[in-house]
Amino acid sequence: MIHDTAAAAVNLHKPDQLSLCILPIVFPADCAIIKSEQRKTLRQRKGEQTMKTIIRTIIIIAVIFTVFGTVGHIESHYTQTGIITQTDNNTEEVTVIDETGNEWTFYGTGYTENDKVRIKFYTNHTDNNRKDDTIKNVKVL
């Protein structure tokens, strides 16, 4: 029995399974401290794992929304080039004919006739009908 007590006393700093079994018999107070520290460590690990799981889930959801949002944006926007055919300085109305021959009107300044422009359109999610598309941006090339 003395041999076991010495083994438990030696292993207080680094308890193994054998010393943990002996500690309650020889040093009950020390065993309670070790068990309390083990419970704290276990709770901390569970808390860290829960936080990591929550963060991973938030990142995955954000990536999914970003991917779907990007795809939706790409599918509903397109660009074409065109030529400015008419400008009205009083009303700031500008008329442009795109590369497919469709005539569009928008309001803006800084455009002159025969300017070559890049027009960004929004489809309004009606791919089969270009008549309801909206001009989002016009840049002089």
* 8-state DSSP, 91: T
Beta pairing partners, 120: 79, 137
Residue 30: per-residue pLDDT: 56
Q: Please check whether residue 67 is in contact with residue 85, taking contact to mean a CB–CB distance below 8 angstroms.
A: no
Say whether 26 sits in a helix, a strand or coil: helix
- pLDDT > 50? residue 117: yes
96 — phi, psi (to 5°)? -135, 145
Burial 84-95 (b: 16+ CB within 10 A, else e): beebeeeeeebb
* Residue range 19-48: mean pLDDT, rounded: 64
Q: What is the pTM of this model?
A: 0.51
Q: Encoding tokens for residue 34?
A: 């070790």
